[in-house]
Structure 1
Amino acid sequence: MSGKPSTPTFAQRLGLGRLALALWHQPVSKIRDSLRNGGPWQEKITERGRHEMELAARSLPPVHYAGPTLEVHLLTGKRFWYQTAFCLWTFSRHSQRALAPVIYDDGTLTEEFRAPLIRLFPQIRFVAQADTIARLDHFLPAEKFPTLRERWVNYPNIRKLTDPHVGSHGWKLVLDSDLLFFHRPEFLLRWLEAPARPLHAVDCETSYGYSRGLMDQLSGGHVDDLINVGLTGLNSDELDWERLEHWCHTLIQREGTSYYLEQAIIAMLVTGRECAIAPAKEYLTLPLPPETHHCHAVMHHYVAHSKRWYFQQNWRHALKSK
């Protein structure tokens, strides 16, 4: 019998990899995230602030403005409805315009969570998930668009692209729910009055999840840096869903799935286009102190560890800001 140790089998290596993930990588990642969030004590304060924000959303005072309404589009559900309420309420308040939001239900938006939104925005329109699925089945059948439909099920972010635009027409401004407005959003108001080119925000760092070479190759141009889709204005009539299916399939086949797939796809969509780009200092992604204390920017987009200030203090500031 040979004295050499046997070569680990694939199954053994896979088991060791999973063990390392469970015992080392995941705990280290959680500790790192906790420290970025201020540590366990701050996380408790943040969670308490989140709960208080949800309660406050039920008693926001309605805003009443005369004149034509503005249509904006959001995807939401029971986990995020109160963030949607604050986003829309602060937008309307500082715009001094009535809103007619179009809300795409993620399948969890029961009457309990719709009622506070209806109270604030009587002209709101809800698109039930069953209606969205019926529209997808008609315009994006799974046998022809298998990647987009699989991502729709397993990657909810793609719904911010598919749900407002599939089988629809015209320009739409799609907002993330974790936005707060502190001053009049002139840039967005001008775009909504006369949309003529794609709109997007500016990120704090380039986050696409895929190699630039592959993205450039598929889009046929040079994909710009720092595109963020917390604010996205696109024309439904211009979207080529067969091309988007090809892009999604190729990106995933070659480089795997990514949390940033939707952002990568939209960055590719606007490649080579003249865009309306939200001024980065006014429409701020990842606000941090001292800005989170003073709120000089028109809008904050609370991504990643900036949610600490979002839940602890800035929704309260938004209630007081004029």
Structure 2
Amino acid sequence: MKRRSRKVTIGRLVYLIYYKPVATVRRSIREGGPWNQLVTARARREMERTARQMKPVKGSESSLPSYEVHMLTGARFWYQSAFCVRSLAAHSATELIKPVFYDDGTLGNHRQHLRRIFPSARLVSYTESERKLDRVLPEAKFPRLHERWHSYPNIRKLIDPHVGSAGWKLVLDSDMLFFRRPDFLLEWLRAPGEPLYMLDTEESYGYGRDALTKLAGVPPPKCLNVGVCGLQSEKIDWDRLEQWIAALDGSGRTTYYLEQALVAMLLAGRECAVAPAQAYITWPAPEECVQPKAIMHHYVADAKQFYFRESWRVCLRRMQNSETSNGLV
């Protein structure tokens, strides 16, 4: 396995010595202080313990129509991935959901939990993904995509499922939960004909619209969020992605939202299927976290504490009720 040493640059030293500690303090204040964070951490550990005991998906050998969903995961997120896909499966009684999990390099023994919960799952190893990257997108031609693949895990949600592949694929983030049957997504999985995404509460691309419009040639869609993202693998222009990253690097800025900006530019000017914002919510409000009315939540920013403290428990009850009513228990 090829590994790269990380050079400690002046910029990274400044980040480690100043920006990271400041960000940690600000996050603590935003999340209600150290005691509140401890309560959330305890709830998170309980969520992980519960995932270890989660019942397997039934019907892996049935004649139901089956659909793949793709997800990057690892040691820090495997249980969130399990809750997300398990809740999707619980509310998709007339379909078989077959997850494809891409190991971020840290999954280790947690893969056994995912295999037990999802007997029909496919697990793609870090080495397998890296070899495909090297074969299809040689580093000499795509140095920036390679650098980001190794240093910026989010971009792997765009690269790993699609590179060297064909057909439509639905990629999901781990930090999401389903509470009711997601007809919109299931209809798309049955007959995908255009790209799919969900909406953000605010535009989070990390770069101004003017800069992205200049690169893409037309304005990007507004408020795109890649928590739910359906793309056609063979239509992704890797050369353009490499050029866009180079141009954005030239601006002297890097951003956590690079992956989202790249997808927004890929979909600029295209007809897309957009998940209804009231049913597929990014950053749900506290009351919605506790008493969900939507079909799906994507827990970003401050919604995380409610996700760990409340929402997964509600989700678990809804899953059990759904499977009982559909005769799957």
Give the TM-score taking structure 1 as reference length: 0.91
C-alpha separation in 2, matches of 1:257 and 1:270? 21
What are structure 1's unaligned runs of at least 5 residues? 1-13
**3-state DSSP of counterpart to 1:72:** strand
- Give the aligned residue type for 1:263: Q
Give the secondary-structure state (helix, strand or coil) at the position aligned to 1:130.
helix
Q: Is the partner of 1:52 in helix, strand or coil?
A: helix
In structure 2, give the amino acid aligned to 1:100: K
Quick one: which of 60, 63, 82 aligns to 2:54? Answer: 60
Aligned to 1:4: none
Given candidates 243, 248, 252, the residue that maps to 2:245 is 248
Is the 1:210–1:255 Cα contact (8 Å) retained in structure 2?
A: no
1:302 counterpart = 2:299: yes
Alignment match, 1:41:
35
- Residue range with higher mean Cα deviation, 197-206 or 249-258: 249-258
Call closer, same or farther: CA 1:282–1:137 in 2, change over 3 Å. Answer: same
CA shift for structure 1 position 48 = 0.3
Please list, as runs of the form range in 1=range in 2, the aligned pairs for 1:79-158 lying within 5 A after superposition: 79-96=76-93, 97-110=95-108, 112-158=109-155
Distance 1:242 1:164 in 2: 17
Q: Secondary structure at the match of 1:169?
A: coil
TM-superposed deviation, 1:18? 5.1
Q: Which amino acid aligns with 1:51?
A: R
Match of 2:309 among 300, 308, 312: 312
1:30 aligns with 2:31: no
Structure 2 residue matching 1:99: 3-state secondary structure: strand
Distance across 2 between alignment mates of 1:175 and 1:26: 28
User: 1:135·1:166 contact (CA, 8 Å) conserved in 2?
Assistant: yes
Q: Counterpart in 1 of 2:161?
A: 164
Alpha-carbon distance between aligned partners in 2 of 1:31 and 1:244, rounded to the nearest angstrom:
35
Segment drifting more, 71-80 vs 32-41: 32-41
C-alpha RMSD of the superposition: 1.9
- Counterpart for residue 10 of structure 1: none
TM-score by length of 2: 0.89
Q: Distance in 1 between matches of 2:14 and 2:106?
A: 33
Distance verdict in 2 for CA 1:34–1:123, change over 3 Å: same
Q: Supply the AA of the counterpart residue of 1:287.
A: P
User: Corresponding residue for 2:327?
Assistant: none
SS of aligned partner of 2:160: helix
The corresponding residue for 2:4 is none
In structure 2, the partner of 1:228 is 225
Residues in 2 aligned to 1:18 and 1:86: alpha-carbon distance in whole angstroms: 37
Which of 206, 224, 246 does residue 209 from structure 1 map onto? 206
Q: Aligned residue for 1:197?
A: 194
Measure how far apart 1:245 and its partner are.
0.5
User: Is contact 1:179-1:299 (8 Å) kept?
Assistant: yes
Q: Which residue of 2 aligns with 1:285?
A: 282
CA distance in 1, matches of 2:258, 2:316: 34
Shift of 1:26: 5.4
* 1:274-296, Cα deviation, whole Å (9 max, x unpaired): 10001111111011221111111
Conserved? CA contact 1:99–1:121, under 8 Å: no
Q: Deviations over 1:163-201 (max 9, x none)?
A: 000000000000000010001101100000000000001
Amino acid at match of 1:43: Q
- CA–CA distance in 2 between the matches of 1:18 and 1:103? 35
Partner secondary structure for residue 229 of structure 1: strand
Deviations 1:43-80 (A, max 9, x none): 11110011011110011112324412220000111111
Pairwise CA distance, 1:105: 0.8
Q: How many residue pairs end up in the alignment?
A: 305
CA 1:132 to 1:28, structure 2 compared with 1: closer, same or farther past 3 Å? closer
Report SS of the residue matched to 1:149.
helix
Distance 1:48 1:166, change over 3 A: same
Deviation at 1:255, TM superposition (A): 3.8
Q: Secondary structure of the residue that 1:315 maps to in structure 2?
A: helix
| Structure 1: distance between partners of 2:161 and 2:22 | 38
* CA spacing shift, 1:230–1:18, aligned 2, 3 Å: closer
Letter in 2 for 1:247: W
Deviation (angstroms), 1:304: 1.2
